[in-house]
Chain A
Amino acid sequence: MARGLGRSYGDAAQCSGGTVVDMRSILGASDVSGGEVEVGAGMSLDALLRRALPAGWFIPVTPGTRQVTVGGALAADIHGKNHHLDGSFARHVSAITIATPTGLRRVSANEDAELFWATAGGMGLTGIVTSARVRMLRVETDRMLVDTDRFSDLDAVMSAMEAGDARYRYSVAWVDCSGPAISTRQRAPGLRAGRAVLTRAVHARLEDLAPAERRPPAAPPRPALGTPRRVPRGLLNRLSIAAFNEAWYLRAPVHREAEVQSMWRFFHPLDGVADWNRLYGPRGFVQYQFVVPEKSGDVVAAVVRELSERRLPSFLAVLKRFGASSPGPLSFPMPGWTLALDLPIGPQALPTCLDRLDAMVAAAGGRVYLAKDSRLRPDLFSTMYPRLEELSSVRQRVDPAGLMRSDLSRRLGLD
């Protein structure tokens, strides 16, 4: 089983008792030619940007952290804030080299498309990707023009996204899931849950900037050092999560247009509070990200309500509208609404509450994201991913002995 930078939240890049291949030394990138770059699968998106951005090339899909490898990005078929227009990562990969248990192959959407698409989102279960040809995006600057809007409830922000997302390459909303009011200004329960800040942006062109600001794009900054290594248990509790969400909400303007922001502030706002995850303390947290079809947007509200009523706060909840899905049988995105939650482990009600959310999501024809999963039930997994058979048949062909397996594949009964 391959392991990139280990940024998947669950057990996808683990194989207890087995062999895990550290991909971080499979580096190297060609120059961009014809808008494409051939990259070693162990190279991080950060390193790729460092090389390509000064030449005016940006990565086609940017996740919430730059510290993921190209192989990991393909294996999870990751999505960014531009999914509604540009789709997931694999759509921007024109070919890959993959070492399967039955041999090394070069595949693409035209050459052995089954293996290519089974690998895109296949969580490493078809073999080890060694290199990929990635289509890059031309940019003139390293800045963004950002519009920000604040909404007092979920319906309003969702309507705004439906109406206006097409005008922006990037769009994402932060939703307050920290539960009912607990501050001194006690409000009715449920009032905070669901309020949202929507940020949408396009790449700034040179002409969009003041003359003094017009300079070519530069490499991203080195990551800042963050929170101390040892953090007391429970530092991030219901109160502090609510306080953080309150500050986040109040910090946002009610409406602001065309604010010039650096790419890094826009794509990775949490890098300002680097290593937030450690604040969860030694017990950690679970990520829960699901998608439901367009017509089932009400499930998002139901989930927010459920968490708020159970007093299970989420540190940051991120809402996004997905565009078309990619052909990968295990690829996560589908047209509709996705919500990503960060929930501290601890409350006894959490595991069963998440089971209930799974059931709601599955009933609506949606699914949860495997790159962030560590607890889904196998039976619901096959309901959520009805095209599992396609993956199995490819695996049978390229890995008849069943050598490629991970803790995730064993947990979900993918063997």
Chain B
Amino acid sequence: MLDAFGQPQSAVVLGGTSDLAGAIVRALAHRRLRTAVLGGRNEERLALAARAASAEGVREVRTVQLDATDVAGAARAVDECFDAAGSVDLVLVAIGVLSHERDELDPARTAEVVTATYSWPAVALTRAAAHLRDQGSGRIVVLSSVAAVRVRRQNFVYASAKSGLDSFSIGLREALHGTGVVVQIVRPGRVPTKMTEGLPRAPLSTTPDAVANAVVAGLASDTPIVWVPASARWALAAARLVPQSLWRRIPG
């Protein structure tokens, strides 16, 4: 069960091998997390993430193999994760694929990015929401991005998909109002992880631990949107007003 500070005892992590998810699981383990089910595509990386979670004190760690390009299999994958977990206090969605200028005109790449970043997570969230609603309680935390708020050329395929997922999650939050299930959206700035390897530092950069701490603090409230860093909220409010001609020239 969630405690008075919204801290979960059991979690399903979709994208269990993600660097950010790793940091979040670590922070949750230092609070109340005892059971974690990590879902991911690569067995070796899953085993590694599972070992890391155990080392942080999570008593029961299980892994479920899933592929986020297989939209038809999303609901089944989520069922499997719930079966493995027993009761679930938190569902964390951390799957995402970044796009780059170099592959922006490659249809196959667009399909992968959009599917793994938006379509699959949206279907998975739909299923997870149904499970939690039946349970009568639970949290869903969706890793969105500041990129979702104002799309930029450098990664517009990814950003548009995040934008879709972000809007989907806001809608889902509304839809679940009063059911005991609360959806929270996390919008980090750029974080050095394997996703962003080789990219230059950008404004609004942050760290995996800062994201994890913000998630833990966010759970204690039921705030809809967690910005990391907190200042990103105001920066992005301003960014919405910047004309495209200028926006294009801001580095990031």
The minimal Cβ–Cβ distance linking B8 to chain A, given in whole angstroms, is 11
The answer to whether the Cβ of A221 comes within 8 Å of any Cβ in the partner chain is no
- The interface residues of chain A, by DSSP majority, are classed as loop
Q: Scoring A residues 126 to 155 as 1 if CB is less than 8 Å from chain B, else 0, what string do you get? A: 000000000000000000000000000000
The answer to whether the Cβ of B136 comes within 8 Å of any Cβ in the partner chain is yes
In the complex with contacts A345-B220, A351-B31, A351-B220, A407-B135 CB distance below 8 A: no
The answer to whether the Cβ of B210 comes within 8 Å of any Cβ in the partner chain is no
The answer to whether the Cβ of B221 comes within 8 Å of any Cβ in the partner chain is yes
A85 to B32, CA, bound (A): 38
The minimal Cβ–Cβ distance linking B23 to chain A, given in whole angstroms, is 17
Do B137 and A374 have beta carbons less than 8 Å apart? no
Q: Scoring A residues 272 to 296 as 1 if CB is less than 8 Å from chain B, else 0, what string do you get? A: 0000000000010010000000000
Given contacts A17-B137, A378-B9, 5 further A-B contacts (CB under 8 A): A17-B134, A351-B5, A351-B31, A351-B220, A378-B34
Q: List 18 A-B contacts (CB under 8 A).
A: A16-B136, A17-B135, A17-B180, A283-B221, A345-B4, A348-B217, A348-B220, A350-B5, A351-B5, A351-B7, A375-B3, A375-B5, A375-B7, A378-B9, A410-B87, A411-B1, A411-B2, A411-B3
- Collect the chain B residues with CB atoms within 8 Å of residue A17's CB: 134-137, 180
- Collect the chain B residues with CB atoms within 8 Å of residue A18's CB: 136
> Residues on A close to B: CB < 8 A?
10-11, 16-18, 283, 286, 345, 348, 350-351, 374-375, 377-378, 407-408, 410-411
Q: Scoring B residues 4 to 24 as 1 if CB is less than 8 Å from chain A, else 0, what string do you get? A: 110101000000000000000
A17 to B86, CA, bound (A): 14
Among B32, B137, B217, point to the contact of A407 (Cβ < 8 A).
Answer: B137
Among A16, A283, A377, A408, point to the contact of B32 (Cβ < 8 A).
Answer: A377
A140 to B72, CA, bound (A): 76
- Nearest A residue (CB) for B134: A17
- Collect the chain B residues with CB atoms within 8 Å of residue A408's CB: 1
Among A348, A375, A377, A410, point to the contact of B4 (Cβ < 8 A).
Answer: A375
Do B135 and A16 have beta carbons less than 8 Å apart? yes
In the complex with contacts A16-B180, A283-B221, A374-B135 CB distance below 8 A: no
